[in-house]
Amino acid sequence: MSHIHIPDGVLPIWLVVIGWIATAVILYLCIRRVRNVQLGRKIPLIGIVSAIMIVGMTLEIVPIAYHINMSVIAGIVLGPALGFISVFIVDLMIAMFGHGGFTVVGLNTLVVGTEAAVGFYFFHAFLGLLSSSKISAGLSAALATMLSLIISTSLMIGIVYLSQVNPEKILHVDKENFIGKVFSLGPHRENEKHEMQDNKIDIETFAKTFFFLGMFGWIIEAVISGFVIRYVSRVRPDLILSEAT
C-alpha cells in the first residue's frame, strides 16, 4: 500500500533527485555495515526474501487495490541494513514490470525500506515485552507490521503532498474503480474540467481514504507476517534472533 505507483515524468525533478541521493547514501552506509557479515549465509536469504516481496507487490487485493509488501518480514529476517538493500533490489526489479517508474525507485526504496528497518526494531521491542507468551514471535511481528505500515504510509502521503501531484495520478486504477471514484468530483464533465484546472491537491481526503482502505490491508499483512514469523521462529529461530545487520 505504501509503494508509490507513479510513472516517470510525473513527480518534480527536485523530489526525484532527493529520493535517489538519500537512497544512495543509505545504501552506502548499509553496505559498509554488512562488510563483516557472513554474506555467504545471508545472500541466499536475500534472494528468497526478495522473491517473496516481488510476488506480494505484484499481486493486488481487490477492491481495495492493496499490495502486500512483506518488507517487515524482510527486516526481521535480514536485519535493517540487509533488509534495506533487499528492498532496493525489489523496487528496481518491479520497476521493470511497470510497477512504478524508474525515477521513483529512490523514493520507493526510502518508503518501503523504512518499513523493513523500523519493523525490525518494533519486532524486537515487542518481543522483549511479550517474551513470556507462547505466541510472542508471531504477535510481535503482527504488531510491528501494523505500526511500520502506518509510518510508511504516512511517509508516502507526505511525499505526495510535497510533490503537489493530483492524487488520481498516483493510483494505478481506472476511474471506474472504487478508489478512483473516491477522488472523482462527480460524473459531470464540467466537474472533471474544474478538477483538471485545480492544481491544489486535497491531501486531507487523500490521506483519509488511504488510511481507511489501508487499514484493511494492514490487518491482512499483519496476520500473514505474524504467521510467517511464528513458523520461522519454530523451525529456524536463529534466522530471527541473530545479530542485527
pLDDT digits (tens, 9 = 90+) for 70-113: 999 999 999 999 999 999 999 999 888 877 788 899 999 999 99
Using one digit for the tens of pLDDT, what is the confidence trace for 43-72? Answer: 888 899 999 898 888 777 777 677 888 999
Only one residue has cell 521493470, namely 96
Contacts of 209 (CB under 8 A, 6+ apart): 179, 182, 183
CA pair distance 232, 228, nearest whole angstrom: 6
Per-position b or e across 116-139, b if 16+ CB within 10 A of its CB = bbbbbebbbebbeebeeeeebbbb
Q: Which of 49, 60, 120 is CA-nearest to residue 89?
A: 49
Q: Specify the pTM.
A: 0.80
Residue 105 in grid coordinates: 525507485
Taking only Cα atoms into account, the Rg of the chain, rounded to an integer number of angstroms, comes to: 19
Using one digit for the tens of pLDDT, what is the confidence trace for 151-192? Answer: 999 998 898 888 876 655 544 444 444 344 334 434 443 444
Question: So what's the pLDDT on residue 28?
Answer: 94
Higher pLDDT, 151 or 37: 151
Is residue 7 scored above 70 in pLDDT? Answer: yes
